[in-house]
Structures are given as structure tokens and as C-alpha cells.
Structure 1
């Protein structure tokens, strides 16, 4: 059975000691002798042989010992991702990708193809902002080297994605028109809700508050207008302007400004000046 299952996981280790400890933990918890794909996760640099960190050497040794089969990397910053792809040292790149992606991200997919690298598309639903799974899947099928990984919380969602394995949707005129409409509404500087900016020293729930305007319009608004949520949004008034969130944001957003913009819109919705669904 094991040879019919492809197991991939990742490590956020930044030292060799952490690397080996996390690898042993993963093997133990996954109850396997080897991993098919092991990925450096959310890297801030492209690990290379003899770069002084010893990290890439750890991957090579683990591969020699049969603990892993393939070496991959995940990134959130496009510059780091491009460097990793150009290095020729990795077999897969995992990066946020959806039909809302920019031209630069499309070029990253193409660069992976030229390097004979697999591209693992995370956040294929753009952090929950994309609701049409058929359109999301159809978009992905255009790329031979792209494998999407979908966030799944319910059995019904799993069944929905599995159904596309047998009846895979493809881009047609209707889906193309739908995607173009979505791009007009959503493309730009918006929070994906990844949470890498957290925790906030002022206690602001940034990964929800910074995308509130979109959530009010793309989900039933009642759940976002509760007294509890109003209290969370009010915390934006206590923003320290410390810039910690901006430094940690993988999308390099101006998070404090995004919070203010969303809060102003939220207050208008509460006051009845702006209507939402």
C-alpha cells in the first residue's frame, strides 16, 4: 500500500539540528520509513550547498540515507521563489497560485516548467475568497506542471474535489468570463488570511480584519457583523504602527493602511451607509 501513496511534508527548520529533529518527528507521526517529498518551508533564502548553513547538505544526506526521495521548497516571496527555481537545486516549488495570480506568478510557473520542476499550487482558493471550485480547478488544468493542493475542512469538500479527478473541468467561454469578472473585483493588494503576520502586539486579529471588506461581500455578512467581530475590528484603533506585520507579510502588503481602509468601510456598513449581502 505504501508505494501507492505519495507523502509530502515540509520543515521550517533553520539549523541542521532542527532539521533532523523535525524529520524524525515527521517520519514517526506519519508512520513511514521515508518521505516521497521533503520541502524547506517558507524560506527567506535559497539554501545551497556550501552556503554556510548546512541545510542543503542535510537534505542531501537524508536522501542518501533513504529517508527522503525528493527535495522541494516552499516560498511566499516571489524573489526568493525565483532564485530557488533558477538554482536548479530543487525538484518542486510550492507557491501561492490561483486564477487571481499576477503575471509574475505565471512567469514563475513557466520557469518551473523550463527547469522540469513540479509546481505545487497552494492557496488555490486565494485564502477563501474564491468560491467557485469548478472555475478554480479548470484554471489549474491549463498547466501541465501544476498540482493544486486544496484546503479541505469537510467530507463534502473532499468529495467535491475528488469528483474532479474523474470529471475534470476545463476552461470554456462561460468559465473564462467568470474568471475575468472575478479578477476585476479581487485582483490587487488584498489580504490572503495566511496569518504569518500574527501575533499582533496590539491584539488585532489581522488575518481577518485586514480582509473584512471582501469577506462582507463574498460571504453571508451576518457572521462578520456580530458584537464579537465588532470588538475585534475596534482594536484597529489601537494599532501601534510598529510595522511588525509588514515585515512578516509574505505578500509585502502595507498592512496598517489595509487595516484602516477595512475599518472605515466596516463602520460605514454598520451605520447603514453601505449595503452588503
Structure 2
């Protein structure tokens, strides 16, 4: 497996990393088992966040001080990145202390501002960047990173000279502008951490996803919650996938079908004022065809989809969506399609 160095951080790690958002959905024992297997299989970079409920605690249990792993391993053998969505200096400082405590570590390799609305800078009046500088000077964090979903903000970050890493959605559904962002980061020596490599579950061929990533100077973090999922990615340590004509054809087919406005299922739009499960209902048409299952047609999901009719166009989801999607329109299109599928009982 190729290695990648993240910009000016000096962090060099296999180009195949662990995204720990999904381990919040499994119990502690399972999460620790998966995290240990990821390390044993070759992964050394692990990404989490304060927003991922108990994900940090599970990573702390797996790798932190007092853990079984720590008895025979050195903390320097792994790289831990976490994030805070704090919007005030006080909250950012509190989040950092909580993360250090949860992760059972003295330092965090990359501390990232999470899903930002702007490129935070020294002297901008928020005080956030100054907190990061202070924490780095104190040795609590080693590198300053940031995550964004809006391309314009990401481009400004890449050119700012302020951040050592940028985390941004990147998959083989990337636009030309997304790919140009990767190059901009390379030119400015900013490490690019690629999230949403499966586009929220819409992409299902691991080989195609990995082969695409290996063409670029990016570090993909794969969201993993099952051992079977993990083993797919660990297989690539034994044999890197090549972008064969067959995989290239699959990628082109998916791009033809999916490129454009689609919901990645991140859930940042929630909660809905009338109780719609937006992050599933807004992409039901794609999910029901790409992962065919009668489970999408159960009474539960029929009831959830019919809630779309209650949409009052309040605009709350529009303000929250990091991809600036027209969510009410997507919801209604998906509902029309869903009713047609139900009528024909075909997937």
C-alpha cells in the first residue's frame, strides 16, 4: 500500500485510513475489536469528532493510556485526528479538553475545526484560530486542520496558508472543481483528507473507490462499523487495486447516473420541523435502486416517506445543508418515485 505525507505535518501514513464516525453505532467491545484489527491490518490514521457521540471514547478504550494496546505499543505508532464544531473560544477549549480526556491521550495529532461556515483566521473576531495556536504552543495538538463541505470555503482555506490539513468530500463522483481543489492543496502543501469516499453509501464497489483515490494525493478515511467492511479495505494492503477498463467503465456509468445534486446522507440538515427523516428520504430513489432490498418498502419506510407530504417549506434544512441542496425539491421527487415503485412493487 502506498504511503502519503499530509502536507507540512510530516505525518506519513498508508493511503488507506479509518473513519470512526460509524463505530458510534456499535457497542464498546465490538468497536475496540474493529479498531485493533484496523491497526493490525496496516491502518495507522484514525479520524473521529466530538460530534460522533461516543466514538472518541471508543478510540480511547482501544488505543489510549491504560488500554491493552498501549501496554505493548507506543502512542507515536498511530495518528489521531478529531474535530470540534465549536463557534466560541470557550466552547472550543472545552471540547479540546473533553477530546483529550475521551481519547486518553496527552496530545492530538490533528485538531480540526468541524464543518466550518467560513475560513477562520487570526484577528477575525471569533478568537477560534487563536485558541488553536495556543493549544499547539502548549503541545495539546500537533497540527491545525479544518473540515469543510462548501467548495468556495474549501478553496479559500487551501490558499490561506493557515491550515495544515483540509478535510473535504471526495469520491469518484468528484467534479472538475473538486479535483482542482486537490491540486490546489498539493501546490500549497496542504494535506487533503478525503471524506465521503463512498458518497454516503451510494457507491458500493470498494475496488473502484480505492483505485480512484490512489490516483490522487489524498488520504481517504473509510467509515467503518462492521468487521466485514473493514476486511475489504485491509485487503488492499495485500494487493492495491488497479483502475482496470472494467472499473473505469463502472465509474463512468455511476457518474452518468449520479453526478449532480444528490444527498450524501450526512444528516446535518436535521432535525426537520415536521419530523421527516431527511437524510434517507432525500436519497431514497438512489438507495432503493443501488442497494435493492424489500426493507425499503416496509410499513416503517412507507410511513417515513409519506411524511414528505407534510413539508411546509420552512427552510430550516436549506440553511443547514452543507452542500446547499434544494432539499424540499429532492424530497418531493423521491416521494413521487417511491409511490411509483410501491405501485409496481418493483425495485
User: Normalising by the residue count of structure 1, what TM-score does the alignment of the two structures yield?
Assistant: 0.97
Q: Residue 184 of structure 1: which of 256, 268, 271 is its match?
A: 256
Aligned residue-pair number: 274
CA distance in 2 between counterparts of 1:14 and 1:250 reads 16
Question: Would you say 1:231 and 2:300 are equivalent positions?
Answer: no
Question: Would you say 1:202 and 2:278 are equivalent positions?
Answer: no
Counterpart of 2:146? 73
Aligned-pair CA distance for 1:105: 0.8
Root-mean-square deviation (Å): 1.0
Counterpart of 1:242? 314
CA distance in 2 between counterparts of 1:160 and 1:233 reads 32
Higher relative contact order (CA 8 A, sep 6+): 2
Q: Deviations over 1:157-193 (max 9, x none)?
A: 1122112123111212221111101111111111111
Counterpart of 1:222? 294
Q: Residue 49 of structure 1: which of 108, 122, 133 is its match?
A: 122
Counterpart of 2:326? 254
CA distance in 1 between counterparts of 2:138 and 2:78 reads 20
Counterpart of 1:128? 201
User: Normalising by the residue count of structure 2, what TM-score does the alignment of the two structures yield?
Assistant: 0.78
Q: What does 1:56-205 correspond to in 2, within 5 Å?
A: 56-143=129-216, 145-205=217-277
| 8 A Cα contact 1:27 1:35, kept in partner | yes
| 8 A Cα contact 1:215 1:221, kept in partner | no
| 8 A Cα contact 1:12 1:41, kept in partner | yes
Q: Which runs of 5+ in 2 are unaligned?
A: 1-73
Counterpart of 2:346? 275
CA distance in 1 between counterparts of 2:111 and 2:238 reads 28
Aligned-pair CA distance for 1:220: 2.3
Q: Which runs of 5+ in 1 are unaligned?
A: none
Q: Deviations over 1:39-91 (max 9, x none)?
A: 01000011111111111111111011100110110001111111111111001
Counterpart of 2:111? 38
Instruction: Flag as ranges the 4+ runs of structure 1 deviating above 3 A.
Output: none
Question: Would you say 1:13 and 2:94 are equivalent positions?
Answer: no
Secondary structure of 1:7's aligned partner: strand
CA distance in 1 between counterparts of 2:122 and 2:324 reads 28
Counterpart of 2:5? none
CA distance in 2 between counterparts of 1:166 and 1:27 reads 34
